[in-house]
Amino acid sequence: MGKGQRATQAFKSTEFVEQVRDEDGLVVGGNPFKLAPSNSGSLLQDEGHQAGKKASPAAPEESSGPEKALSELEAVPSLILVTTYLSFLMLIVFAHMRDFFGKLFYPANYVQLRVQNGLAPMVSDFESLWTRRLYGRIRDCFNRPITGVAGGHVSLLDRVSTDFNKTFEFTGRVRNVLNLASYNYLGFAQSEGPCADKVEAALLEHGLTQGSTRAEAGRSLLLTETEDMVARFVGCEAALIVSMGYATNALNIPALVGRGCLIISDELNHSSLVSGARLSGATIRVFKHNYTPDLEKVLRRSISQGQPRTHRPWKKILVVVEGLYSMEGEFCRLPEILELRRRYGFYLFVDEAHSIGALGPRGRGICDHFGVDPREVDVLMGTFTKSFGAAGGYIAGSKALIDYLRLHSHSAVYAEAMSVPVLAQVSSSMRMIMGEDREHALEGQQRLDQLAINTRYFARRLADMGFMTMGHPGSPVIPLLLFSPAKIPAFSRECLKRNIAVVVVSYPATPIITGRVRFCISASHTREDLDYALEQISEIGDLLLLKFHKNQVASASGDDSKKIQ
């Protein structure tokens, strides 16, 4: 079987999919949260904020919002919290002790951390303590080299270390593992099939790159056509394509806001959003993760106080959130945020890197999931690296906004234009999702439906086994909490022994007490793939004592199990 054919072999018929989606509570068509268009001004204006508008003192209206995340419904046992903190404390204490005695008895091993020839070390011993003493012990769980197509399965290059993970050597062996680590949500990471054929044709016709920025000689016809398609796909007037997903946030936010402006950011926003906010020079304030009452509190305080020292009105206020938080598997509360936007008049920036293509009955992202008019959101950002099997990202919004960014964003003026083969992958996969590919008119919707089935099945089975998971139902990212720092590498190594590739995450990427493994579900996974993974994960959970809700499973009703079957 070809590598690219695995994604399509288990797609179910549309009729069967709709029946399952109804049973699982998935939205099938319609706009249950339809909102009216907003009358807010242009994001390009530099006027004072709230010059003629007063903040309403009334409490925000009740909104149906997203389904509650599992992390909001479950309390972590105190014993687990205490042992997790103690484990990290012991690791840090022993790390300092090893450094102390190492410098005393083996000074030659610490030369790079000392002043040499009057030059301070590039990295101090204290700053590098975490990577040297803690990350170094579990380094084999990260940066694992792969080869071939990263689809539902991936080929992993085997390696060993004889010096405690300081260096690695390849053994020459290659193992085929089940891929639960890649963001291949719709299974478009393929080397065969209609998308791969169009990429090959584009490569033969146009070559690999234009060798220029889009402002000079890099604006190809396919780039223009793909930008128009992206705008139609997300429901906006225009779109700007950027060749790098990280730069889409980091280099476009500074073009939107600057000094005298305010950015209000979710505390768990992605690093690219944080970088863009810092580069902008705007004042930055943070609200509690996905908690709209705190967002309103920050808004009211910021609007009433104005700019620091001068107390002048803010030129602009930009609220930045993510559609799907990839570390938590949670959806942003978009209807509630839009209600606040109508009352307080700020601009809204939604990062849909993980939600576009993966959420909603038509795969149009978080707006599609809630039935919200995309024009209610001032700036929609997304990437092509997840659901579309490509690279780069986009900014979508009004035509005036996109025309402004084409002239003022460093990602448009100075960055290399996206290569034509990548554009061909984006265009062909998006056409398939939209049903505009006549030869494969149903395949896009089948992928969307299969992803929805797989995600709910996998998450429900994990919960039935007694694992403590996070996130909203229907999220293709399913975090399973491990807590203890000792269990994090142990889980990864045990999965590798069973030929399963997973991603484990710990502090500082997450809060110190919520170390986790993050499963990324794909439409390319068959039911046999998921059942095998669940069986092995259950064994690992028994081995590492991870089934914190084991006592609750026996008393649970069997209704959900019947739905799954």
* Averaged pLDDT for residues 460-477: 93
Q: What is the mean pLDDT of the chain?
A: 86
Domain ranges of the chain: 78-139, 141-187+443-564, 193-288+318-440
Taking a C-beta distance cutoff of 8 angstroms, is the pair 235, 363 a contact? no
Does residue 157 register a pLDDT over 60? yes
pLDDT at 122: 87
Q: Which residues contact 519 (CB under 8 A, 6 or more apart)?
A: 180, 458, 477, 478, 479, 480, 502, 533
Write the pLDDT tens digit of every residue in 181-236. 999 999 999 999 999 999 999 999 888 888 888 888 878 889 999 999 999 999 99
- 239 vs 18: CA distance, rounded Å: 32
Write the pLDDT tens digit of every residue in 423-445. 999 999 999 999 998 888 889 99
Give domain 193-288+318-440's CATH number out of 3.40.640.10, 3.30.70.940, 3.40.720.10, 3.40.50.300.
3.40.640.10
Three-state SS string over 3-16 comes to HHHCCCCCCCCHHH
Q: Residue 509 is encoded by which pair of tokens?
A: 């990427």
Predicted TM-score (pTM) of this structure: 0.84
- 545 vs 524: CA distance, rounded Å: 30
Q: In terms of DSSP bridges, do strands 283-287 and 330-331 run parallel, antiparallel, or are they unpaired?
A: unpaired
Write the pLDDT tens digit of every residue in 95-138. 999 999 999 999 988 888 888 888 988 888 888 898 899 999 99
Taking a C-beta distance cutoff of 8 angstroms, is the pair 141, 503 a contact? no
Torsions phi, psi of 42, nearest 5?
-85, 145
pLDDT at 74: 58
Write the pLDDT tens digit of every residue in 315-353. 999 999 999 999 999 999 999 999 999 999 999 999 999
Write the pLDDT tens digit of every residue in 267-291. 999 999 999 999 999 999 999 999 9
Does residue 50 register a pLDDT over 90? no
Does residue 19 register a pLDDT over 60? no
Domain 141-187+443-564 has CATH 3.90.1150.10: yes
- 535 vs 552: CA distance, rounded Å: 19
Does residue 30 register a pLDDT over 50? no
